[in-house]
Structure formats: C-alpha cells, structure tokens
Amino acid sequence: MLPIDLQKLVGQFIYQPDQPMIFNSGFFLFLFTGFLFTYYLLSDTTRPKLIFVILFSFYFYYKSSGIYFLVLASCTLMDFQLAKVIQDASRPSLKKFLLLVSLSVNLSLLAYFKYTNFLFDLFNGLAGGPDRSFDIFLPVGISFFTFQSLSYTLDVYRGNLKATDSILDYAFYLSFFPQLVAGPIVRAADFLPQIRKPVLVTDAMMGKGIFLIVTGLFKKAVISNYISLNFVDRVFDAPALYSGLENLVAVYGYALQIYCDFSGYSDMAIGIALLLGFHFNINFNSPYRSLNITEFWRRWHISLSSWLRDYLYISLGGNRKGKWRTYLNLMITMLLGGLWHGASLRFVLWGGLHGAALAVHKIYSDVKNKTVVEPGAIWKFSGWLFTFHFVCLCWIFFRANDSATAFQMIGQIFGSFSWSVLPEFIEGYRWVLLLMLFGYVLHFLPEPFERRAESLVISMPLAGKLVLMVAAIILVIQTKSAGIQPFIYFQF
C-alpha cells in the first residue's frame, strides 16, 4: 500500500474525468517545468525531440479525455496516409474519392460524439417519441483537431500544400499540446515547415511568450473565473430570480467572461508555443472594439472564422455567384458555424443571428460603396454601440441552458428593469463590478499600451521574467476556486 501522499501524486498522472489537465492548473505548471527542461536538453536533436513532444502531447490529451486519445491517434494515421495517396493519385476522380473518405470519416466521428443525442432528440421531438439520450462521452477538443486534420487533406487535394513524408511530423502537428484541445486551429502550411527547424527561442520570443502566458492566466484564472462563479452563472441559471438590471449586467459579464476565458487560453497556447520555438497566428484582436459585425468576425476566434471562410464559404461559392447567393452562403456558413459550437438549437439560432447580421451588413456595404461619404465619429460610435449590444444579445442564446431560459432572460431585461435596485446591487457585487470594469478598460486600452507592456517584459532580465511568472502563479493559486474551472471551449 502506497503512502497517502504518494498515492495522491501517482493519481495525478492518471486520467480523472472531474480534473482534466488545463493550463491554469498547478499540476500542469509543475509538469510543464519538467517538460521544458527536457525539451531544451533535446533541442539539438530532431527525432528524439519530436518523439518526446508527441508522447507528452498524447499524455496531455489522455489527461483530458482518457482512452479517447485513440480517436486522435486514428485521425492522425488515417489523414497522414490519405493525404499521401491523394497527392500521388493520377486520376482526379480518385483524388476526389479519397478526399471524400477523409471528410466522411472525420465528420462522422464528429457527428457521432457530438450530434448523436441532438439528432435523436430532434427526431423524437418531431415524431412525438419519448425523451431519452445515449451515454456518449465527448472527447475534449474533437471539433478543433478534426478541423485541423481536414484542412490538411483539403490543402493537399487543392495543391496548396505538399503532403509530408514523415508520420512523426504529422503526429507532431496534429497533437501539439498547446493548441490541441481549444485551438487556435493551426494550418499545416504554417506549422509543418517549422517542425524540423533548429529550436531558436530569442529573448524577444521568450519575453513575448511569458507576457502572453501571464496575461492569459490573469484573464482566465482571475477575471473569467471570478465573475463567472460569483455572479454570471447565478443569474444565467435562474434569471427570473434577478431584476432586469442584474440580468443585463450578467450579459455584459458573460461577454467579458467568454472573451477572457477563450482569448486567455489562446494567449497561453501562443505563449507556450513561443517558448518552444514555434509561432502561431493571433486568434483574438480586441473584438469588442469592432464597428460592425463583419469586423467582429475578423477579430473574434480568427482561426475558426478564417477556416469557415476558406473551407466552407468559398467552397459554397463565396461571393462569386451573385449577391443573393453570397447572402445565402453567409447564412449557411454561420448556421453550420453555430452548430459547430454546440449540439443544440440555441447554437443554431446564435449562428443564424450572426449569419443574418453579416448578410445585412454586406447589403449595406454594397450600397455604401457607391457613395464617397466617409462616416463621421458619431456614426462610427453608433456602429460600435449597436455591434457590441447585438453581439451581447446573441451571447444570451450561446450561454443560456436552453432557449426558454434565454427568452426568459430577455423578458427580465425588457420587462423587469428598474434603476431603484442599483445601490443595493453595487453594494452586493462591488468586487465583481470592479473586476468587470477593470477587464473592459484593459480590453479598450489603445494598442500602444499593450505593445509597451509587452516590450517592458521583453526587456526584463531573465530573473525578472521568472519572478513575473512566479508572481502570476501565486496570484492564480490565491484566487483559484474550490474546483477546477475548465475552459468554456473545452466542450466544443
């Protein structure tokens, strides 16, 4: 029988469904320190380094999804082989058939794990059958790595990318742990050429990496978790118990929560990759500064919106088949984008609202392009105000437990709004409100402020960078909740 402390330590290395490995957990930070030390020791090698990172990445995924790491392994082996055969095939019909195999298998995996119960419930609802569901586990991040794998075979099929001859390279690309479970969705064309380059982490890369990790930790572990547990979740779980004012502020709170949660993960993923010598593209660019909905989707979850554009919207015809077909393609793309986010009609509604808004803005842009009048400051402010509140309205359907709760919340905001509860509300939630204010101020700070802060970290000596990291970890430990708070996008 192992001593109790040793048993607990050994248990940390075994998959525990209620404690997935996430970047802001103490165990990951401890494990990553040892990983980084070993990685740098192997940095002058190629094959040992690749094998070590692949094994760690699969272990990282095992700690998130248990035995379902085999799904990731299967996708890796299948698309590696299919891409090579697609590239070498001489007949276009064979190429297309093999591409369809890749699409069918990947999308079938996604459909089984993610949409079986949704489709079954939808059918039962239409047919009047009994409510029931299957006990199907959703592997963490399956939406991300299937899309990433599909982009590889699609690029090879289109002739935009040469298939790799090394299974190690492809396994490294698909399983690379910083972005494995919640993005960003990395393109093979951007990542594969970096794999066999010598590991080079400049002072600028290390400084930027630490800056992104620290800011990401703060966004997720301090801002997002605190306002979620102490206010936002309570209101969204029972909106009828709260006034219209409290419901409205909870919507603003969720807009900040999901941004800090998801962009915080992306920041940490990009920062960790930089410490390993790899560059990812930016995934968020202050989206709530957007002056219109089109700009919002150029700033929000950039890796997904660009994936939907390049592999779905353009494949449907894009804007090449007339105006009305363009509007229809936008709507289809966003409806499917909504369904990608979750197996529920409320996600479809969320995507449909964004699709309709994009179509309306496209119509407006087509008309505006015929004029030469530059919009003034008041018009730009109005555009920002409308865009922000439209996005917040859509977030209600994204976050609410069901459509009925979403409409109940909207009803409270418009039907039970009163300023009279404001003093009591401020007194009861002053720390939540102060943290929300602080989060929004940081979001809307001019870009030069962020660049200066990043430059300050880069210019620090190594000891200063380490002190900053330790301080961030201590802050996370001091503010952590009782249980692990997984990233919102883990469920996608």
Q: Which residues have a catalytic role annotated?
A: 341
CA distances from residue 89 to 79, 92, 95, 456 in whole angstroms, order as listed: 15, 8, 6, 53
**Number of residues in the chain:** 492
| Amino acid in the structure at residue 371 | T
Q: What is the DSSP letter of 221?
A: I
3-state class of 330 per DSSP? helix
Rounded CA-CA distance 472/203 in Å is: 20
Contacts of 188 (CB under 8 A, 6+ apart): 148, 151, 152, 155, 161, 164, 173
Put residue 281 in one of left, alpha, beta given phi > 0 → left and psi -120 to 50 → alpha: beta
In this structure, what token pair is assigned to residue 338? 């909504």
- From the centroid of its chain, how far is CA 142? 12
Helix (H) / strand (E) containing 423 = helix 422-428
Rounded CA-CA distance 102/477 in Å is: 43
Choose among 254, 263, 262: nearest CA to 405.
Answer: 254
